[in-house]
Amino acid sequence: MHKDKSQIAIRIADLVQEIHEFDFTCKASDFKGWQLAEAGFTRDIQIKAVVDKKEEEVIVTIETYTVADFTCDRCLAPISRTLSGSLKLYYMFGVPVEEAEHLSEEYRLLDKNADAIDLTGDVCETLLLSLPLKVTCTDNPLCKLYGIDGKNEESHAEEISAWQESLEQLKNKYR
């Protein structure tokens, strides 16, 4: 069976026990099956992987940087945002299966004879988790639906005070 070559893999078999840095530059289209281009990742994606190899574990820190293109959720104006994300993973050698069941997602088991770590899925997840939930163009004066005027500021002040009041009531209820 033909196995696809992983986009971001770090060969650990040749690494000595110290800190190593790797830099990758990719495009969203390089990650097949992740629909990163549809999510707004249309420009180059910079990935920095710092690998700290020790005798019984490998600690990998992934940092992603890119500029994503969106449309305003209110006026549909094009917006570009700088997105960054990070993830720290721990790969452990020779941990008994009983102990491995209690480890969190950041801990992964590696065979003593493993020669590489595939980071492609982790990079894609880090990119997707860096996406904002809501995209608005607060600085765009052409956005007709979101403008700053006296009425909006007053209603916003009322919302804050009502929210603070209800929070205070809730706090007093549980004292």
pLDDT digit string, tens, across residues 47-97: 999 999 888 888 999 999 999 888 887 777 788 889 999 999 988 876 655
Task: Give residue 2's pLDDT.
Answer: 33
Q: Could you write out the three-class secondary structure of 75-88?
A: CCCEEEEEEEEEEE
Task: Give residue 101's pLDDT.
Answer: 59
DSSP 8-state assignment for residue 106: T
More confidently predicted of 106 and 82: 82
Mean pLDDT of the chain: 77
More confidently predicted of 48 and 149: 48
| d(C-alpha 150, C-alpha 69), whole Å | 31
For the question of whether the overall pTM of this predicted structure is more than 0.75, the answer is: no
Which residue ranges make up each domain of the chain? 9-137, 145-175
Tokens linked to 16: 């000595």
Tokens linked to 115: 């020669």
Mean pLDDT, to the nearest integer, of 17-32? 87
pLDDT digit string, tens, across residues 108-133: 887 777 788 888 889 989 998 898 88
Task: Give residue 47's pLDDT.
Answer: 93
Residue 80 sits at φ, ψ, to 5 deg, of -115, 135
